[in-house]
Structure 1
Amino acid sequence: MFLTFLVSFLISFFTQKFVILLFEKKKLFIDKIENNEPQKFHSIPTSRGGGIGIFLANFLLVLNPLGIKFLISGSLAFLSGLWEDLQRGLSPKIRLLFQILSAVLAVLLIGAVIKDIRIIEFPYPLAVLFTVFAIVGAINAINIIDGFNGLASGISLMILTSFGIVSYLQNDNELLFIILVNIGAILGFMVFNFPKGKIFLGDGGAYFLGFVIAEISILLPYRHEEVSPWFSLAVLVYPVWEVLFSFYRKTKRGLSPLKPDKFHFHMLINKRITKNNPATSIVIWIFAFPFTVLPVLYYNNTIACAFTALLFILIYNVLYISIIKFKVKNQLSLLFK
């Protein structure tokens, strides 16, 4: 298993170096600062091709029957994001369509659906619809939190580590193989992304990681009755709540949920407290860590996992409102100077 991790890391690492060089020579995958998009927090043009190395490292999945299905299903979401990274201008609706197709393909090829959530069991057609919705939601959730150096990749590492530990405890070597491939790929990317931001994950990388995380979160309880489906929600609660809360915020203000804005939690942390790109990621890592990792201790306890998710949502909302109303003291920013 260590060899799997090492090879994945090396593939991602050297691909990132190549993409950065290609960017410098040919100006491909450029994230131009003059676009003035609200989610931009960098001052120099930077490559958005970090997802290429992560995706190429996942070609190791051809060694695993389940992994092949992951690779095929996730490729549609990845390619739509990659096209946006390379050319820009691909409409959000087209990208959403490709994400839905990826999710549908995963249901057809892999077969796992969210049917029994302990408190209710869905009929199969409804389970399929809910599963597709959940996968698409997770894809966008990872993309939404990809706002600062190392933020989305660091959170993804925590999530995959938690899933990896439970996969190991359940003797699920197939899932553990897929998880280790992606942990290695992410670390190979983070060498260049955190803290200096020499390359960004891009939509392609965020979409693909979101897909992988979503599918693993569904497969773990689907394949192992001991694993509560609420464990997956507890581990994913930060990105999931970020996308749900974002949807609520925007629709309440009469805005399109697909349109980016500057009021995400990580953006407010940066503006009001850290005023520093990598420090923002570190603060949110620390905040999310207990909610992402501790559920491993009670992955079979639905009540404890549900309580963890609800506790996160409560604390998140209190902090969000406090920051908006300036109740969080600006003196905290002194810690990050």
Structure 2
Amino acid sequence: MTVWWLIAAVSTVSWVLTLMLRRYALAKSMMDIPNERSSHTVPTPRGGGVAIVIAFLAAMPLLVALGLIRPAAMYGVFSSGLLVAVIGFTDDHGHIAARWRLLGHFIAAGCALYWLNGLPPIELFHTPIDLGWFGSVLALVYLVWMLNLYNFMDGIDGLASAEAISVCLGICLVFWCSGNTELIWLPLALSAAVAGFLWWNFPPARIFMGDAGSGFLGVVLGALSIQSAWVSPNLLWSWIILLGVFIVDATWTLLRRLLQGNKVYEAHRSHAYQHAAVKLGSHKRTTCIIVGINVLWLCPIAIWVGLGGTQIIGLLLAYLPLCLLAYKLRAGLPE
């Protein structure tokens, strides 16, 4: 029963901190002013993602004390998440050159991999493959891409928050169905922290997450996926399937912009979800549709793979419709 009180407290703390951060941002005029590349039209306070960071990180030592997570998992997730949040918070309040941000991101990813013992052997068609040092490099790039793509996808009200909650609760269901209930507590605590923030961020948003929150969510979700892979290689594939909407949209958009010779580090409004929000005329509707895709399409496939289904077949089944959707919505092309 104690742990459920802790989960409720995480959500409450996040809610209260978001309220305080919103008042602080309004008092200090820390506003996200709309421009031609924005998806919002009203100046909105930013930096609310700090509430998620504080609420979740504060819960981790308590989960260790309750014997629900291993200290090494806490050290890896805590150190990498905190470093990414500090970099994002600093960038939100000023500007850090892209090369120094990227260096910090790689250091944060390295911290996570150090404590999590790197990338375990993966499975392809139920055959274990130990990638050795190349696996560590691949995992490093994966974590850095996860934290940056999450930042790219935080562009309309409620989307990044709703994605985190639906993915975390979805993977908890995968863990429960596959008999790996010991892994539930970190994603459950993260979903609680995000839920407290979402109350203020659901369309129309009263505060934005900011880079501190979005980058934090990306690296933490990536680290949790690698942690679970040590328990069962199939669980890594389940995570990647559940994160499919964000992974496909961000990757497709990046590659298409690269092929067109665009500067990929410049702000833009050409993601599939941004085009969808314009077509539907509603951030709320777009966010709800993406949650629906996660719940009704990706989650059942993730459960099947987590129970021993063929990994590549599950990935193709999940991703091919998402690729078609990205193509139809002209991801990577200007409006």
TM-score normalised per structure 1: 0.86
Question: Matched residues in 2 for 1:180 and 1:220: separation?
Answer: 14
Question: Matched residues in 2 for 1:165 and 1:288: separation?
Answer: 13
Question: Matched residues in 1 for 2:91 and 2:114: separation?
Answer: 26
Residues 261-280 of structure 1: pairs in structure 2 closer than 5 A: 261-271=268-278, 273-280=279-286
Question: What amino acid is aligned across from residue 289 of structure 1 in structure 2?
Answer: V
Q: State the aligned residue count.
A: 317
Return 236-245 or 18-27, whichever deviates more: 236-245
Instruction: Give every structure 1 segment of 4 or more consecutive aligned residues whose post-TM-superposition deviation is greater than 4 Å.
Output: 169-174
Asked if the contact 1:84/1:203 (under 8 Å) is kept, the reply is: yes
SS at 1:117's partner residue?
Answer: strand
Which runs of 5 or more residues in structure 1 are unaligned? 326-337
Question: Matched residues in 1 for 2:100 and 2:120: separation?
Answer: 25
The aligned residue for residue 213 of structure 1 is: 221
Q: C-alpha displacement at 1:213, in angstroms?
A: 0.8
1:285 to 2:280 alignment: no
Pair 1:111–1:37, CA change in 2 (3 A): farther
The aligned residue for residue 15 of structure 2 is: 13
Q: 1:55 aligns with which of 53, 56, 73?
A: 53
Deviations 1:65-110 (A, max 9, x none): 23243111211111111112222x3233322221111110111122
Asked if the contact 1:234/1:291 (under 8 Å) is kept, the reply is: no
Q: C-alpha displacement at 1:200, in angstroms?
A: 0.9
The aligned residue for residue 27 of structure 2 is: 25
Return 197-206 or 115-124, whichever deviates more: 115-124
Asked if the contact 1:4/1:180 (under 8 Å) is kept, the reply is: no
Question: What amino acid is aligned across from residue 130 of structure 1 in structure 2?
Answer: L
Return 117-126 or 95-104, whichever deviates more: 117-126
The aligned residue for residue 329 of structure 1 is: none
TM-score normalised per structure 2: 0.87
Question: What amino acid is aligned across from residue 220 of structure 1 in structure 2?
Answer: S
Q: C-alpha displacement at 1:275, in angstroms?
A: 1.3
The aligned residue for residue 68 of structure 2 is: none
SS at 1:42's partner residue?
Answer: coil
Q: 1:187 aligns with which of 195, 211, 214?
A: 195
Pair 1:247–1:114, CA change in 2 (3 A): farther
Return 150-159 or 290-299, whichever deviates more: 290-299
Question: Matched residues in 1 for 2:131 and 2:322: separation?
Answer: 33
Question: Matched residues in 1 for 2:59 and 2:293: separation?
Answer: 33
Asked if the contact 2:178/2:307 (under 8 Å) is kept, the reply is: no
The aligned residue for residue 82 of structure 1 is: 89
1:242 to 2:249 alignment: yes
Question: Matched residues in 2 for 1:217 and 1:73: separation?
Answer: 14
Q: C-alpha displacement at 1:147, in angstroms?
A: 1.4
Q: 1:254 aligns with which of 257, 261, 265?
A: 261
1:130 to 2:131 alignment: no
Question: Matched residues in 2 for 1:223 and 1:185: separation?
Answer: 25
Which runs of 5 or more residues in structure 2 are unaligned? 65-70
Q: 1:101 aligns with which of 101, 104, 107?
A: 107
Q: C-alpha displacement at 1:114, in angstroms?
A: 4.5
Q: Percent identity?
A: 21
Pair 1:280–1:166, CA change in 2 (3 A): closer
The aligned residue for residue 334 of structure 1 is: none
Question: Matched residues in 2 for 1:285 and 1:319: separation?
Answer: 15
Asked if the contact 1:158/1:293 (under 8 Å) is kept, the reply is: no
Question: What amino acid is aligned across from residue 49 of structure 1 in structure 2?
Answer: G
Return 305-314 or 135-144, whichever deviates more: 305-314
Pair 1:146–1:45, CA change in 2 (3 A): same
Deviations 1:169-220 (A, max 9, x none): 5665653221122111110001001022001111110111111111111121
SS at 1:196's partner residue?
Answer: coil
The aligned residue for residue 152 of structure 1 is: 160
Asked if the contact 1:114/1:130 (under 8 Å) is kept, the reply is: no
The aligned residue for residue 231 of structure 1 is: 238
The aligned residue for residue 212 of structure 2 is: 204
Pair 1:93–1:175, CA change in 2 (3 A): farther
Asked if the contact 2:237/2:302 (under 8 Å) is kept, the reply is: no
